[in-house]
């Protein structure tokens, strides 16, 4: 058992007269004091703009910003020059779709995603397909909520330029076999992009082992601040992509009529970046590594297994996604028979229990499941087995109230 709740002050606040039971970390995670302090400390002690000042303070700020990049790089087994700071997963994926679209995608080429994508890993490819006259395909899911690998392979062809998949589904919890997918995709010469928004915060991820080419995640889901995210990319690929935001600090030289781009990662960090947020993300990485991602992962799996078992024992509950907790991330989506997810969430909120209800930015997936919306409980290192029990007991009361 992890014992970290004392590090998260917000967890001791009351909600509607009850202690907060926060089960929505897949949407965003709470912050330990260390991270909040790191951001504050930076403003109080060393704040200046990065990469431009020649004075000491600017040099110190730049060092701290780059040190955060190095920490994030080590966290996912990458080199610092392959780490681009973005505003989040959404911006990272848009940046990639833009860049690859310019260099690799021609009319009638194909892009392959899956039915379980978050809109952040769907709409950028839709837009790219529209812009370049390419075709967007989506591999199907099985009735168990796993990726249909046969369908995936049948949609892969010599015309496929980009394969972009979610590592851990934010609704089904499914962990996709990125290694295999990358191998198949590389055989046809496609670039492999991974939406790691729900994996990097919860399990050890090593970009070298995964075998993908580009990978995106968000700081705010891994105990860091909002407004900071990460794109990892193989050096050769980053080097071939044009920038997505042009302006200050991303060029080597500029004239009135043209410019020469800086090398990555600076090329993709036009304008003043979220400096303090990057520094604080570095501290979130320190915090997670201090605990150990293996322990974070097994804690999440334990809670997920407990929730799955409790939900399945209730005949009025439908659970989505793979039945085996070891094949899932730390979240469970479900529905109560005849009761709308928004009613479930509103009634749970009356007891201080925060869950997500809606389509979780995966409308095509919900359409595929034949439901307009679902409830989702998601867990992180600060959640406890008692909280899972509270959720399950409260669901029985929801059923009594509206069933």
Partner 1 sequence: MSYEEVILDHWRHPRNKGRLPSPDASAVEANPLCGDVVRLELALRDGRVEDVRFDGEGCAISQAAASLLTEMIKGKTVEEARGLKDEDMLGALGNVVKTRLSCALLPLRALRKALGLGS
Contact call for residue 164 and ligand PLP (CB under 6 A)? no
Beta strand pairing status for 374-378 and 331-336?
A: antiparallel
Find the binder of ligand PLP among 25, 62, 160, 218 (CB under 6 A): 218
Q: Which stretch binds partner 1 (CB under 8 A): 21-29, 44-52, 277-285, 342-350?
A: 342-350
Instruction: Tell me whether residue 152 or residue 217 sits nearer to ligand PLP (CB atom).
Output: 217
Contact call for residue 341 and partner 1 (CB under 8 A)? yes
Contact call for residue 300 and partner 1 (CB under 8 A)? no
The residues in 102-131 that bind ligand PLP, with binding defined as CB under 6 A, are 118, 120-121
Contacts of 27 (CB under 8 A, 6+ apart): 221, 356, 378
Q: Which of 361, 363, 364, 384 is catalytic?
A: 361
Instruction: Tell me whether residue 171 or residue 279 sits nearer to ligand PLP (CB atom).
Output: 171
Say which DSSP state 25 is in.
T
Contact call for residue 166 and ligand PLP (CB under 6 A)? yes
Structure tokens at 199: 């994996």
Distance CA 107, CA 197 (A): 30
Is residue 117 within 8 A of residue 362, CB to CB? The reply is yes
Distance CA 216, CA 214 (A): 7
Active site residue 361: yes
The residues in 310-369 that bind ligand PLP, with binding defined as CB under 6 A, are 361
Is residue 7 within 8 A of residue 357, CB to CB? The reply is no
Q: Which does 89 bind (CB under 5 to 8 A by kind): ligand PLP, partner 1, none?
A: ligand PLP
- The closest of 140, 112, 119, 144 to 328, measured between CA atoms, is 144
Is residue 295 within 8 A of residue 382, CB to CB? The reply is no
Q: Which does 347 bind (CB under 5 to 8 A by kind): partner 1, ligand PLP, none?
A: partner 1
Contact call for residue 195 and ligand PLP (CB under 6 A)? yes
Distance CA 214, CA 220 (A): 20
Beta strand pairing status for 374-378 and 356-358?
A: antiparallel
Find the binder of partner 1 among 80, 180, 349, 368 (CB under 8 A): 349
Distance CA 202, CA 204 (A): 7
Instruction: Tell me whether residue 90 or residue 383 sits nearer to ligand PLP (CB atom).
Output: 90
Contact call for residue 24 and ligand PLP (CB under 6 A)? no
Distance CA 351, CA 394 (A): 8
Give the interface with partner 1 as residue ranges (CB under 8 A): 339-343, 346-351, 357-359, 371-373, 394, 397-398, 401-402
Give the interface with ligand PLP as residue ranges (CB under 6 A): 88-90, 118, 120-121, 166, 170, 195, 197-198, 218, 361
**Positions marked catalytic:** 361
């Amino acid at each position: 058992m992890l014992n970290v709740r004392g590090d998260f002050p917000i967890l001791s606040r009351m909600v509607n007269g009850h202690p907060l039971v926060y089960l929505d970390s897949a949407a965003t995670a709470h912050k330990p004091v260390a991270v909040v302090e790191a951001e504050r400390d930076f403003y109080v002690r060393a704040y200046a703009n990065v990469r431009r000042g020649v004075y000491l303070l600017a040099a110190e700020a730049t060092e701290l910003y780059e040190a955060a990049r190095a920490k994030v790089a080590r966290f996912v087994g990458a080199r610092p020059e392959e780490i681009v700071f973005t505003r989040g997963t959404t911006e990272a994926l848009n940046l990639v779709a833009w860049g690859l679209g310019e260099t690799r995608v021609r009319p009638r080429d194909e892009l392959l995603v899956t039915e379980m994508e978050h809109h952040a890993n769907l709409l950028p490819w839709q837009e790219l397909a529209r812009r370049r006259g390419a075709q967007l395909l989506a591999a199907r899911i099985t009735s168990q909520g796993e990726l249909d690998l046969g369908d995936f392979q049948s949609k892969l062809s010599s015309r496929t330029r980009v394969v972009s998949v979610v590592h851990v589904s934010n609704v089904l919890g499914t962990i996709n076999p990125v290694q295999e997918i990358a191998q198949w995709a590389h055989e046809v010469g496609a670039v492999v992009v991974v939406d790691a928004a729900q994996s990097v915060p919860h399990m050890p991820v090593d970009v070298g082992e995964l075998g993908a080419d580009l990978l995106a995640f968000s700081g705010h889901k891994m105990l860091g601040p909002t407004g900071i995210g990460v794109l990892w990319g193989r050096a050769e690929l980053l080097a071939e992509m044009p920038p997505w935001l042009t302006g200050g600090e991303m060029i080597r030289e500029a004239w009135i009529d043209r410019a020469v781009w800086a090398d990555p990662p600076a090329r993709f960090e036009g304008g003043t970046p979220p400096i303090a947020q990057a520094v604080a993300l570095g501290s979130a990485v320190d915090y997670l590594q201090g605990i150990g991602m293996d322990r974070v992962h097994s804690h999440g799996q334990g809670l997920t297994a407990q929730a799955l078992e409790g939900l399945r024992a209730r005949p009025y509950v439908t659970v989505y996604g793979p039945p085996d907790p070891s094949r899932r991330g730390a979240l469970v989506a479900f529905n109560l028979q005849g009761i709308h997810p928004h009613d479930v969430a509103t009634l749970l909120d009356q007891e201080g229990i925060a869950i997500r209800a809606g389509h979780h930015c995966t409308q095509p997936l919900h359409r595929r499941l034949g439901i307009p919306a679902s409830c989702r409980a998601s867990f992180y290192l600060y959640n406890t087995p008692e909280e899972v029990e509270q959720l399950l007991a409260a669901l029985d009361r929801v059923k009594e109230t509206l069933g």
